[in-house]
Amino acid sequence: MDILRIIIAIFIPPLAAFLTVGIALHFWLNLILTLCFFVPGMIHALWLVVKKGAPG
């Protein structure tokens, strides 16, 4: 599932953020980052997916 979220984070960052944290602050932040500049939104979504999948 994490591989799928990583792929989604690359192409549709807000969707990956939503699947990871739901409707929370990080989702809205990611949506704003993606709308302003795509690459920061993608980096933020990747960070969320990797952080959520890491144990601890």
Name the phi and psi angles at 54, rounded to 5.
-75, 135
Which residue ranges make up each domain of the chain? 2-53
SS3 17: helix
Q: Are 33 and 40 in contact, with CB atoms under 8 Å apart?
A: yes
**Which among 33, 2, 1 has a CA at the least distance from the CA of 14?**
33
Q: Is the pLDDT of residue 56 over 80?
A: no
Which amino acid, 37?
F
User: What is the reported pLDDT for 55?
Assistant: 58
| 1-54 residue pLDDT tens | 689 999 999 999 999 999 999 999 999 999 999 999 999 999 999 999 999 866
